Amino acid sequence: MTSTVAARTFDSLDPRTGAVVGSHPVHTEEDVRAAVARAEAAARWWRGLGFSGRRSRLLDWKKALVRRLDEVAEVVAAETGKPLDDARLELVLAVDHVDWAAKHAEKTLGRRKVPAGMLGANQAATLAYQPLGVVGVIGPWNYPVFTPMGSIAYALAAGNTVVFKPSELTPGVGLVLADTLREVTPEHTLLEVVTGFGETGAALCASGVAKVAFTGSTATGRRVMAACAESLTPVLIECGGKDALIVDASADLEAAADAAVWGGLSNAGQTCVGVERVYVVDSVAEDFTARLVAKTRGLTAGTDFGPMTMPSQTDVVRRHVSDALAKGGRALVGGADSFHGTTIDPVVIADVPEDSAAVTEETFGPLIVVNRVPDAAEAVRRANATGYGLGASIFSKDGERLAESLRCGMVSVNGVISFAGIPALPFGGVGDSGFGRIHGEDGLREFTRPQAVARQRFALPVPVTSFRRTAKHMQTMLGLVKARHGR
C-alpha cells in the first residue's frame, strides 16, 4: 500500500550478505486503519462475485503466481537467505493450496440442507458459512509465502479481503504477492499490505478487522491475543513446535534417517514442523544413528541450506548446543565450533537429558537431538512431554496406531512434514503451539461465520412455541418424546 502518514522507513536485508534488498515504510495506526477501510470497500465487491466469480479470479491468481514463480522465489531467497530451489518449492506448495481453496470453497461453505429433527418436522433447516469481511494476517519470516498463504488464500476463497502484515524481515515478499493478485483483480485491491514492526502488528489487531490470523512465536502469540481481546476480535494462533520423530524397531531406517536430516536441517532448521527431537528404539538405534550421521556430514551450511534469517536466533541455537553438551550430550556431528557468524554447520547430539533446553525449548536451528528409548510407547510418552503440540513423524509399520496417542495437530507416518503439502488436511496445533486451523475444509470455515436458517413450511398441530399451548398439547408432545427417545 502507499503510505499517507508514515515518515519512518526500514530496510530488509539479505542475511547471506547483509546487502539491502529493499526499503519500506513503517506504517502507522492511521495507515493501517486506512488499509482496513479500503479492504472493507473491496470486500463488498468481492463478496458480490459469489463463489463462481471468486473461484475464477483465484484460479487466475494461481496462474499469475506460476508465471512469476521465479521472480517471487528470488525475493524469498533474498530476504530469507534460503536456497533458490527451496524458495521455489515453497511457491509450488502455496500454488497448490490456492488451487484447492478456490475449487472447494463452494462445496464446503455454500448453503446446504440439514436434518430438522422430530420437533422441527415442519421446518426446512439450512446451514451456510458467510464471509467475515476483512481478515488481518500477521505472517512469519521462515516461510513468508507458504505459511501466510494458508490464511490468505483460504480467507479470500471464503469471500473475505485481507490486510497482510508480513514479517519485518520479509516485507518484499508480501508486496510481490499482493502485486500478483492485483494483476487479476484490477477493480479492487483484495490484499492490502502494511509493513513495519510490532507496533504495526498491534495496530492491525486494534483496527477493527473481523479476525486476526497470526503465525509466530508463542510469546508474541500471547501478546496478539491480549491485544485482540480488547475488542473481542477472534484470533487464529499458529505458534512454534518441538516436533519429534519416532523411529520404531520396524522402521525403514534409511528412509527414517533421510527424513530426519531433511526435517531437521532444511531451511537451516527454521521450520515450525521440522524435526528437533528424534526418539529411536534401542534395538535399531546404532544402525539408524550411523545412517543419520553419514547423511548429515554430507551437508554444507551456506550451500545445502542458508544462514539464520533472524540473526538473534543464532544465540538461541548456540545456547541449546552448549547446554546439551554441558549436561552430558555427545556431539556426533558438529558442536560448539559449528557457528560462523549467522551460518551454523549441522549439529547432531545424542543422549541429551530430557530437561535440557535443546529438548524442552524450540531451537529453530540446524540442531538434531537423538535419544534412545526402550520402546515406541516410551517414545510417545517423551514426545508428548512438552507444552508444544504442533506436528510429529513416525517411522513404523504400526505408525497410524501410534499416531493416535500423540498430542499434536498433525502426524506424518513414514514421511516428514508431508501433511503440510496436502491441501485437504487441516494444519494447526494444541497447547503452546496455538489453536485454530488453516488448510482444508476447517481452514475455509475458520474465516467464516456459520449462519443457521430455519424456515417454517407448515404449522404443527401442537403449538409448541406459542401461548396457545395447553396441558393436553404438552401431554401429546411428551408422549411423542417418550416413544421416540425413552425406550
Whole-number mean pLDDT of the chain?
97
**Catalytic residue among 79, 192, 238, 441, which?**
238
**Catalytic residue among 205, 228, 239, 272, which?**
272
- 396 against 3, higher pLDDT: 396
Residue 408 annotated among the catalytic residues of the structure: no
**pLDDT band with cut points at 50, 70 and 90 for residue 110:** very high
Q: pLDDT at position 462, please?
A: 85
Q: What is the pTM (predicted TM-score) of this model?
A: 0.96
Q: Which of 10, 16, 232, 44 is nearest to 132 (CA)?
A: 44
Q: pLDDT at position 7, please?
A: 67
pLDDT digits (tens, 9 = 90+) for 352-396: 999 999 999 999 999 999 999 999 999 999 999 999 999 999 999
Sign of the C-alpha dihedral, residues 351, 354, 357, 360?
positive
Q: pLDDT at position 2, please?
A: 45
Please check whether residue 351 is in contact with residue 330, taking contact to mean a CB–CB distance below 8 angstroms: yes
Q: pLDDT at position 349, please?
A: 98
Q: pLDDT at position 1, please?
A: 52
Quote the CA–CA distance of 61 and 176 in Å, as a whole number. Answer: 12
Please check whether residue 347 is in contact with residue 335, taking contact to mean a CB–CB distance below 8 angstroms: yes
Residue 272 annotated among the catalytic residues of the structure: yes
Q: pLDDT at position 72, please?
A: 98
pLDDT digits (tens, 9 = 90+) for 177-223: 999 999 999 999 999 999 999 999 999 999 999 999 999 999 999 99
Q: pLDDT at position 487, please?
A: 86
CA-CA-CA-CA dihedral for 120, 123, 126, 131, to nearest 10: -100
Q: With 80 as the cut, is the pLDDT of residue 144 above it?
A: yes
